[in-house]
Structures are given as C-alpha cells and as structure tokens.
Amino acid sequence: MTPTLGKDLLGLEPLSGEQLRLILDTAEPFKEVSERAIKKVPTLRGKTIVNLFFESSTRTRISFEFAEKRLSADTVNIAGSGSSVQKGETLVDTARNLEAMRIDMVVMRHPSSGAARFLAERIRSNVVNAGDGTHEHPTQGLLDLLTIRDRLGRIEGAKVCICGDILHSRVARSNIWGLLKLGAHVAVCGPQSLLPRGIEELGVTVFRRIEDAIAWADVLNVLRLQLERMNAGFIPSLREYYRVFGVTVERLERAPRDLVILHPGPMNRGVEIDSRVADGPHSVILHQVTNGVAVRMAVLYLLAGGRPELAEAAKSGREGGE
Amino acid sequence: MRPMLLVGGRVIDPSRGFDEPADVLLVDGMIAAVGRGFGRPDEVELLDVAGLVVAPGLVDVHTHLREPGQEDRETIATGAMAAAAGGFTAICAMPNTDPPIDNQSAVGFVVKQGAAAAGARVYPIGAISLGQRGEQLAEFGELVGAGAVAVSDDGHPVASGHMMRTALEYARTFGIPVADHCEEPTLAARGVMHEGVVATRLGLKGIPAAAEEIMVARDILLARHTGGHVHLCHMSTRGSVELIRRAKEQGSRVTAEACPHHFSLTHEACAGYNTNAKMNPPLREPEDVEAIRRGLKDGTIDCIATDHAPHHYDAKEREFDDAPFGIVGLETALGLGVTTLVDGGVLTLSELLDRMSTVPARVFGLPGGSLAPGQPADIVVFDPAAQWTVDPGRFRSKSRNTPFAGWELRGRVLRTIVGGRLMYQAA
C-alpha cells in the first residue's frame, strides 16, 4: 500500500517517515523538468491554485509559482496588503469566498502559527502551508532534507545542527521534525534567549557554543537572524552575535570534517554567516533553492492525487487518461 | 412568599461541619430550621429532595458579565441566569466592562440590573483605578457606598507596585479585599499560552510561570507591608501555590482562588490551536494542576472561582494569536468540581462545597455560604451521582466558549433557590 499525504500539507510533525520519503522520492523526477528548455508538464492542467500571502515573501512565493506553472496549473496571487484582509475581513471569510469561486488548492503564508490548519479545517480545497507564524514551513524543511540527501547520500545517521534563532523559526521546527523522522541526529545551537523552552523534549541536543556544534556536526543549517531581534532585546548587537555565533571560515577550518552548509535565506552576510562560507565550496545554498521548486512540484502533485509511481511518466506528459 | 420545606435530602453545610440527612425549612426568604421533626407551617410548599444533596448556594467571586458595553457576549440578566443554572446563588461581577465600573453610578447600574435579573444575586466589584489604567485610584468609599464588595483591575493587571500598595492601604478603611490578576506585563507581553514544550511545538509565544509568580510574590510582600487584604485571582502555577503557602504560614492577609479549568486541564488542551483552551492565566503543566489540587485540599488556595469570560462565537473562530482569552464557566463549575476533585479523590463533597460556597462568601464578606438559621435562603439542590454531557447549546449564558463540550460530568444541579425563590429548576 502506497502512503498518501492526505488533504493538506500543514507541517512535517504530522507526517510519517514513509510519507516524507514519498515526497522526496517524488521530487526526484521533477528535478529534471526544470532543467529542460521547455519547463512545463501538463500534470495539473485545469487546476486552480491560489497563493495567499499574508506576509511578504519573495523566494517562497516565486518558488511555489514556478512549481505551479511548470505543472500547468492556473494560479492567482493574493497579497495580504491591498486585499479584503486589510478591510477587516477574517481569515475564515476570505477562505469561504475563495472556495465559493471553486478553487482546488490554497498555498498560504500567514503570520499566525496554526493559521494553515485553521484554514484547512474549514475549506474542502487542499491547503499547503507556506509558513505559519513561528510554527512550521514544511516545504522549506523538505527542500533541506532533499539537499542533505543529495549531498550525503542519506539522512539516517547524519548529524545536523540548526544554528541561530530557533525560538522564532518555523524553518527550525520543520527541520527538526523531518530530520528526526528520517533518523538523523539533530542539534540546535544559539544564545539561550533564542532557544524555545523545552526544546530538548523534542529529542534534540542543545549546544550553547557554535564551536561545539561545529565539532559535532556533519551539516549546519544556519538560520537568518532577524534584525528586529536585537531591537526586541534578545541579543545585545549583531556585531556581538557574529563574534560569538557567526559561522566563519576560521571556525569551520578547525572542524574535524568538511561540513555541508545550508541556509534558508535570505542571508545576512556578516551576521550569522561569513560571506566566504556562504560562497565557499561547502555551501549548498543555491542547490537548496533549485530543490525547492522540485519539492513543491512533488507536494502539489501528490496532494492533487497524483500517484507517486506515475511521477516519472507525468514529467514526460504521458499520464493522460487517468 | 410561601414557606418551603425541602424534605429528605442529604444536607451539607460546610460552615457548621454538618453533613447528614435532614429537612430544611425556608420562611420569608431565610433559613428557618435545619433538622428533623420540627413543625410545618400552614400552606408550606413541600419539595421532595430524597437522594439529593442540599447545600448552601454556590458563590463565585470572579465573573465577567460584560454589561455595560459588550451585551452581545453576556448581560447581567443572562449571566445571573447562567449562574443559577450552575448552582450559584451569588456572583461577583468584575469591573472590566465598557465603560469600566470605576464610579458610584456605574456600580449602581450593576446593582440595579442585578436586582432585576431572575437568577443569582449579583455583587459588583469596583475598579482599583480610574479607567483601569493604573494611574489614579478610584473612589473606593463611593464604590463601596453604592454596593461594591471588592476592588480589582482584573483584565488589566496592576503593573505599578506603588498603585498596588496604595490600593491595599486605602482599601483597609472600607474592609474590602483588593483582588489582583497577577501578571508581570513585560514577561507576559504578546504571550498566548503557557511557555513550555507545547508552545514550542505549536510555535506560539509563551507566558512563563514566573510572570504570575513575580506578582504573587510582590502582592504578598505588599500585603504584609500594608496589612491590607490581597485576594489573588485564578492561581495557575505550582510556584504561586508554594509562595501563598509560605505567606499564610507567616500570617499575611492573603487569600487565593483557583478556576475549574486550572485543576482540570493542562496546556496540552491547546494542541490543534483550540482557541477555547486559550485563557489568561494559561493552562499549565501537569505538575501545576497537581499543585492547585493539593492547594485546594490543604486550604492554601481558599476557594474556587470560575473567571466566567463569555465571548461571541466568531471572536473565538480566529487564528489562535488573535482569539481573545477566556472561557465561560458558570454552568460547568460544579460538575468539574465533583468529577475532577471529588470523584478524583482530592476533596470530599463537603470540602468542595466549602471551597465553592462557604469560603468565597467569607473571603468577600457576602451573605450566604451557610445554612445556619437566619441566613438567606440561598440553596443549591443537586444530584452528585447524576451524569450529564456538557452541551454548550443548552447553556443559559449567551456565549458557548468552553473547552469542555462533550465532557461527561457528574454532579447535576436540579434546583437553585435564591432568597427563598426557585430561580432554576432542571428540565
């Protein structure tokens, strides 16, 4: 029995290891579509997808849009500002109105944790969480998993440390769940003021010094440090953050092995990461971006009811007649 | 008003340590006699309560009745009816209405609406500060003169130590408690649930236990310093219970209440972003629930209060961050007390009634809480063994926001009598 994803992708916490592997395996054939001269397959022809972004996003929104267009879906983009939300409409009313126009899927970014689930419980369309508050960002987690698997050949047994502002990071939460379910060893590293309470209870190791994390890890996933965290008093200054927690060439040179460096972007060069590391041979940051499109194609394909064993055929457009 | 005789019940009066089969005679709105074999007045109305418990009506020192200003959520009339349906014969209304109850005419309005309501007696709580802004003391003398039984800025925690100190000192003149919602605002800022592993999993901003405990400690020290009576509202953490226990050992004038949700639920209830589990103070950890129960048993926590907080349904039909805090509690409090605390082996039935009637009446200086002859005929009749299912659609309250929908509870209110009049009778 082939596992399925169900109606929605709300996070990686509710998924099984088998479901995660299904998405990653389904992404493999879709990688190739983006390498072609004509980057389009007819798989989602006739499907309507709404990209509902209540928070600004460049990378994630564009990556979803490419994934949708390359699968031949019809897409509509709605941004939080300028929409009826600005006029005081509630999320549930927005959702009901969209549904009344007979759509098939909603991809939503929202500043409140749990908003994607809230929406999914109230509409029949498939919902893909493109980041909800500080909860989860499942497609980012998936593309990180795919990138680690590409580089190391496996995820099981890999030592991955997520570095930086774990407290406010939905990327961290999706990474933690995805990595743990696929058998990786997971650690987090950052100032304690940016580590959420009880994080150890999720099954992760905590490093208080970046040097210790680097000595332990095979992979570092370096999170963006939001500049507003300094103003909110979580850290004294960006300068000090870089001195104490920055992932620098000097620190990496002391590591017992070559590390793979991930970053979900957008980067603050010279804050959480040294430019020479970001642009260096161990960085897979652009590879992550490329994988993002393939992973999102796989998610949309599977949620639309596509059968994983036909993904290879779907990419060559031979799936008709289902 | 015809005299009424309740015949054949198990009479529990915690104020006198009384728990035995007896009849209760009510004459002219007062308790006339409790016992057996006394003469029956002419035209007495007989009420057969065999197999049922007859006890002093429940007293809730912490409700939000939303009137004036938010009548779509609750009114004093519907709140008083919901209270009677829950077995309460007296409730205290917090002043965080719109406008707040911070002057004598506002207090008079609550008294007038309460007198017109067909339900529990309604006692106003006045604001500590004008507009509950924490800047200028309200006129306690006039508030009390108009009928206020306590002061509180509940809903707007008293951030200023100076304001709290002054309130405690000034309240001594009038012999009223100062009820405080203990919350250190900078630690609790923007928090929406308990800070712990569940908040970490859900990605929600936490309110640490220390935000409550710091203010509990402050209030205890100020009560000792001023000699004033501080009443600590809705205690939720094991640290608070420990602080109060020590304060009482040292003789400070501190009383405290706990809510049914804080002895029945943990922060796990927020899983799935259940906005009906969003309240302030938030649901805490199993160790906290255990400490609250132990505190109720040993008297560290004096009484049970509901913090009844009605909200319109679409206010809770929101993202968790945007939903308001609070749940309704009047119609589930006794059932939760019986099911969680009595059937759970924490309290005897008599101790539960003590914490829900006798003690809260004493703490706030209210009539009732006793079946001694001469006391008002405020009585609840309930079946402690009867099981019922919580169906918010049947609430008398205007609001339905409860995390207990579908719960099977024991302890069903059958009749509530206020001043000798039947105010509620189960269908």
Contact by Cβ (8 Å): A247, A163: yes
In terms of Cβ atoms closer than 10 Å to its own Cβ (0-12, 13-18, 19+), residue A102 is exposed
Residues of A whose CB is below 8 A from B318:
90-92
pLDDT of residue A317: 60
Look at B200 and A197 and tell me if their CB atoms are within 8 Å: yes
Residue A82's pLDDT is what? 47
B303-B304-B310-B316 Cα dihedral, nearest 10 degrees: 120
User: Please, which pLDDT band fits residue A322 given cuts at 50, 70 and 90?
Assistant: very low
Q: Give A183's DSSP letter.
A: T
Assign A315 to helix, strand or coil.
helix
> Catalytic residue at A87?
yes
Task: Decide: helix, strand or coil at residue A57.
Answer: coil
Give the pLDDT score at A232: 84
Cβ distance of B204 and A90 shorter than 8 Å: no
Which range among A32-36, A281-285, B338-342 shows the weakest confidence by mean pLDDT? Answer: A32-36
pLDDT interval class at A106 (50, 70, 90): very high
Mean pLDDT for A15-34 is: 95
The CATH topology of domain B57-363 is: TIM Barrel (3.20.20)
CB count in 10 Å sphere of residue B210: 15
- The catalytically annotated residue of A31, A70, A110, A137 is A137
Distance from CA of B241 to the nearest CA of A (A): 22
CA-nearest residue of chain B to A200?
Answer: B197
pTM: 0.94
Residue ranges of the domains in chain B? 4-54+376-425, 57-363
B169-213 residue pLDDT tens: 999 999 999 999 999 999 999 999 999 999 999 999 999 999 999
Instruction: Give me the total of CB pairs closer than 8 Å, taking one residue from chain A and one from chain B.
Output: 67
Active site residue B102: no
Name the minimum distance, in Å, from the CA of B200 to any CA of chain A: 6
Q: Please indicate if any CB of chain A lies within 8 Å of the CB of B285.
A: no
Q: Residues A27, A297: contact at Cβ < 8 Å?
A: yes
Q: What is the pLDDT of residues B52-100, one digit of tens each?
A: 999 999 999 999 999 999 999 999 999 999 999 999 999 999 999 999 9
Mean pLDDT of A277-304: 96
Whether the pLDDT of residue B126 is over 70: the answer is yes
In this predicted structure, the answer to whether residue B128 has a pLDDT above a threshold of 70 is yes
Report the candidate in B189, B187, B193 with the shortest Cα–Cα distance to residue B320. Answer: B193
Residue B409 near residue B392 (C-beta atoms within 8 A): no
Which residue out of A55, A94, A108, A118 would a mutagenesis test of the B interface target, given it has the greatest number of B Cβ atoms within 10 Å? Answer: A118
> pLDDT of B95-110, one tens digit each?
999 999 999 999 999 9
Q: Return the percentage of chain A with pLDDT > 70, whole number.
A: 95
Q: Based on the number of CB atoms within 10 Å of its own CB, is A97 exposed (0-12), middle (13-18) or buried (19 or more)?
A: exposed
Return the pLDDT at A228: 78
User: Cβ separation of A113 and B273 shorter than 8 Å?
Assistant: yes
Q: What is the mean pLDDT of chain B?
A: 97
Q: Which of B307, B354, B378, B383 is catalytic?
A: B307
Structure tokens at A163: 């570095």
Q: Which CATH superfamily is domain B4-54+376-425 in?
A: Urease, subunit C, domain 1 (2.30.40.10)
**ipTM of the prediction:** 0.93
Query: Is residue A137 among the annotated active site residues?
Result: yes
Query: Do residue B314 and residue A110 have CB atoms under 8 angstroms apart?
Result: no
Tally of CB atoms within 10 A around B266: 19
Taking CB atoms and an 8 Å limit, are B202 and A117 in contact across chains?
no
| Res A226: pLDDT | 82
If one counts every other C-beta atom within 10 angstroms of the C-beta of residue A93, the result is 14
Q: Characterize the bridge pairing of strands B230-232 and B178-180.
A: parallel
| CA dihedral angle for residue A85, residue A89, residue A92, residue A97, rounded to 10 degrees | -90
Place of tokens 């912490």: B62
Considering only CB atoms, which chain A residues are within 8 Å of B203?
113-114, 132-136, 170, 173
State the pLDDT at residue A320.
42
pLDDT mean across residues, chain A: 92
pLDDT at position A321, please?
A: 37
Q: Answer whether B272 sits within 8 Å of A117, measured CB to CB.
A: yes
Confidence of residue A216 (pLDDT cuts 50, 70, 90): very high
